[in-house]
């Protein structure tokens, strides 16, 4: 396993400049010998303190903050000053830290991005950079970039178009790549393609940090994305690109256009599908059924919903079912109503799941017709899983599956306590954002979070270690099955469909090994196949320990 010094090999700075380098700064942990050698004598308080003492200070300061947004700001400041300490804190306290550095708090951080802006992080590419994107990318100080998370900010979580404020999402996702899968911080690059925003309030906000114009569309938008990806391959040839929070009008077509040209994937489509499939596979151990015994009713027919359904279909097909028959297990309700063949002007990505049944306009009506065993919410419409809906599901099924996946928490289709109460404690529940344990009739349920962080870090790590020139749907199917296999009987007994977040690096490593093995087997890998792939993955993973400068 690697520490800072094995990747960051630039000449060591001295004095104040070293203290301002977040990748090398150790703060009060610099030894007396290092202070003499590096020109730090007098620039630090005289006490030499261990990282354990520094972590104690951070956690104490964090506890004194009044809100999660203030805690987010504090942690971002720590990341800007001392990345090694930041990741030690995050990794040692991951169940507490993940909701602060990513969902749900990152949603509020993006909404208030201009107000809380302190120091730039990542690269902003705008339409004004057309023809010069390579030069922009070369301004990044680190050459060995292995993972890029890029967004255009048009569909941030369930919050809509936040424009350049979406950078908070790219930064947060990459923090999880490091914390959960050990990608070195210097190998992570967050990018926002700022092509404007349709959010009029943002354009009028004097503190907005982005371009104040309507969104670039059509051929000009496509040309900018084309140039960005071509420039990425040239400047960072070993990088995997993750598309993040693009709107439906672009997400599906960009994925189709580029996924065979680049080592690229869309986490909202493929990562979400993978983690939810893993949860469903684990749920089958509770119901005693197989996936083919279920009828899935989705609320929301965008990237997440279609991505989930596509992987459900892939799983059923792998078990021997005809693809058309597998698609007939999945039904969608969008903003108009039930997705059926008789509807005109259906978006292309919805057509494979349009069935020859009668149109109804509401989710409750659709449930009466379909009698689903599982409802999966990816709508961003809070409270849409009503008491009537869940009680009727519980009348027909001993263990109704209720996945309320919209982020952040305020957008969830129902709460964990509602799901358990309205089904008599029989729901198999998962959510997109975390909910606290629920006490119901003498039993404590620990609801599972269908967090993409169980999937994308491991998939990315596997693609990086193998230097795969593709990131395929099959890799996400492999990841789902690997994750489901790691859910213990203890987890299921608590009502949790996923392993404890404390095991996330173990989860990521196992997924990475399976994904890399697949890349080598299928000929996607450009790296030499190692004798011991498990050890190679472990050796690649960054551990937040201070380097010695003595």
The verdict on whether 173 is a catalytic residue reads yes
Confidence tier at 158 by pLDDT (50, 70, 90): confident
Burial class (CB in 10 A: 0-12, 13-18, 19+), 543: middle
pLDDT reported for residue 124: 98
Label residue 9 by pLDDT band (50, 70, 90). very low
**The last residue of a domain, from among 400, 423, 452:** 452
304 and 206 share a domain? no
- pLDDT tens digits, one per residue of 198-240: 999 999 999 999 999 999 999 999 999 999 999 999 999 999 9
Catalytic residue among 26, 72, 87, 173: 173
Closest CA to 7 of 145, 199, 159: 145
Mean predicted confidence (pLDDT) in 2-31: 79
User: How far apart are alpha carbons 100 and 109 in whole angstroms?
Assistant: 10
Closest CA to 265 of 465, 522, 510, 457: 457
As for how many domains the chain has, the answer is 2
pLDDT for the residue 14:
85
269 secondary structure, DSSP code: I
Evaluate whether residue 193 is within a structural domain: yes
Residues pairing with 193 in the sheet: 125
CB burial of residue 510 (10 Å; 0-12, 13-18, 19+)? buried
Angle between helices 83-92 and 94-101 (to 10 degrees): 120
Q: Are 154 and 79 members of one domain?
A: yes
Total Cβ atoms within 10 A of residue 348:
9
105 located within any domain: yes
Instruction: Indicate the burial class of 12 (C-beta count within 10 angstroms; 0-12, 13-18, 19 or more).
Output: middle
CATH of the domain at 441: 3.40.50.720
Half-sphere exposure of 204 (CA within 13 A, CB side): 3
DSSP letter at 454 equals G
Q: Are strands 443-445 and 438-440 parallel, antiparallel or unpaired?
A: antiparallel
**Radius of gyration over alpha carbons of the chain, in Å?**
24
The last residue of a domain, from among 245, 262, 279: 262
The answer to the question of residue 25 being in a domain is no
Cα gap 137→354, rounded to integer Å: 42
Do 190 and 316 lie in one domain? The reply is no
350 flagged as catalytic: no
Does the residue 310 lie in any domain?
A: yes
Task: Say which CATH number the domain at 55 has.
Answer: 3.40.50.10380
265 pairs with which residues across the strands? Answer: 242
Q: What is the mean pLDDT of residues 248-272?
A: 96
Q: Do residues 356 and 237 share a domain?
A: no
- Across the chain, what does the average pLDDT equal? 95
**Cis check: omega of the bond before 104, within 30 degrees of 0:** yes
pTM of the model: 0.94
Examine residue 268 and state whether it is found in any structural domain, yes or no.
Answer: no
Q: What pLDDT does 429 receive?
A: 98
Residue 154 within a domain: yes
Tens of pLDDT, residue by residue over 326-384, are 999 999 999 999 999 999 989 999 999 999 999 999 999 999 999 999 999 999 899 99
Q: Quick one: pLDDT band at residue 2, thresholds 50, 70, 90?
A: low
Query: Does residue 4 surpass a pLDDT of 60?
Result: no
Q: List the catalytic residue out of 102, 177, 262, 454.
A: 102
pLDDT of 6 higher than 60:
no
- Cα 79 to Cα 178: distance, rounded to the nearest angstrom: 12
| Residue 428 CA: distances (Å) to CA of 85, 209, 440, 449, 479 | 38, 42, 14, 12, 21
487-500 pLDDT per residue, tens: 999 999 999 999 99
Question: Residue 138's domain spans which residues?
Answer: 50-262
| Token output for 545 | 């320990």
Rounded Cα distance between 156 and 148, Å, is: 17
Which strands sit side by side in the sheet containing 296-299, from one edge to the other? 330-333, 296-299, 374-377, 401-404, 428-431, 448-449
Claim to verify: residue 186 and residue 306 sit in the same structural domain: no
**Half-sphere exposure of residue 111: CA atoms within 13 angstroms, side-chain side:** 12
CB 234 within 8 A of CB 138: no
CA 155 to chain centre: 14
**What DSSP string runs through 390-451?**
HHHHHHH-SS-EEEE--SSGGG-SS-HHHHHHHTTT--EEEESS----EEETTEEE-PEE--
């Amino acid at each position: 396993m690697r520490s800072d010094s094995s990747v960051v090999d630039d000449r060591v700075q001295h004095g104040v400049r070293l203290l301002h380098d977040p990748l090398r700064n150790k703060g009060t942990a610099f030894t007396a010998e290092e202070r003499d050698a590096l020109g730090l004598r007098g620039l630090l308080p005289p006490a030499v303190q261990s990282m354990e003492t520094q972590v104690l200070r951070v956690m104490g300061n964090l506890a004194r903050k009044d809100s999660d947004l203030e805690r987010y700001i504090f942690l971002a400041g720590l990341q800007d000053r001392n990345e090694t300490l930041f990741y030690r804190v995050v990794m040692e306290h991951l169940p507490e830290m993940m909701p602060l550095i990513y969902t749900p708090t990152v949603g509020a951080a993006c909404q208030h991005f201009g107000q809380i802006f302190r120091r730039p992080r990542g690269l902003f590419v705008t339409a004004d950079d057309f023809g010069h994107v390579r030069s922009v990318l070369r301004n990044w100080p680190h050459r060995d970039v292995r993972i890029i998370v890029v967004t255009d900010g048009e569909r941030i979580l369930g919050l809509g178009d936040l424009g350049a404020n979406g950078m908070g999402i790219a930064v947060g996702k990459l923090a999880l790549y490091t914390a959960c899968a050990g990608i070195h911080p210097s190998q992570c690059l967050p990018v926002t393609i700022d092509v404007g925003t349709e959010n009029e309030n943002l354009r009028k906000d004097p503190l907005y940090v982005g371009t104040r114009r309507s969104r670039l569309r059509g051929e000009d938008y496509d040309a900018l994305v084309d140039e960005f990806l071509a420039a990425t391959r040239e400047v960072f040839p070993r990088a995997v690109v993750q598309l993040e929070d693009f709107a439906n009008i672009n997400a599906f077509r960009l994925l189709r256009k580029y996924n065979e040209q680049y080592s690229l994937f869309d986490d909202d489509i493929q990562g979400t599908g993978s983690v939810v499939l893993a949860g469903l596979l684990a749920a089958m151990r509770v119901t005693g059924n197989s996936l083919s015994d279920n009828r899935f009713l989705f609320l929301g027919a965008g990237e997440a919903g279609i991505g989930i359904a596509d992987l459900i279909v892939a799983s059923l097909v792998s078990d021997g079912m005809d693809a058309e028959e597998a698609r007939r297990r999945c039904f969608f309700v969008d903003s108009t109503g039930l997705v059926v063949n008789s509807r005109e002007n259906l978006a292309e990505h919805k057509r494979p799941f349009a069935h020859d049944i009668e149109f109804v306009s509401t989710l409750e009506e659709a449930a009466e017709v379909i009698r689903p065993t599982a409802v999966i919410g990816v709508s961003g419409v809070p409270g849409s899983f009503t008491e009537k809906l869940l009680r009727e599901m519980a009348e027909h099924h001993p263990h109704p599956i209720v996945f309320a996946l919209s982020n952040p928490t305020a957008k969830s289709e129902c709460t964990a306590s509602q799901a358990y109460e309205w089904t008599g404690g029989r729901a198999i529940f998962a959510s997109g954002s975390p909910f606290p344990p629920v006490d119901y009739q003498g039993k404590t349920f620990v609801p599972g979070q269908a967090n993409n962080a169980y999937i994308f870090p491991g998939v990315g790590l596997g693609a990086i270690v193998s230097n795969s020139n593709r990131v395929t749907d099959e890799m996400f199917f492999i990841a789902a099955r690997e994750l489901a296999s790691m859910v213990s009987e203890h987890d299921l007994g608590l009502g949790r469909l996923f392993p404890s977040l404390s095991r996330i690096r173990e989860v990521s490593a196992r997924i990475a090994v399976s994904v890399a093995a697949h890349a080598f087997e299928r000929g996607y890998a450009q790296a030499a196949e190692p004798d011991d792939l498990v050890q190679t993955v472990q050796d690649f993973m960054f551990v937040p320990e201070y380097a010695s400068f003595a």
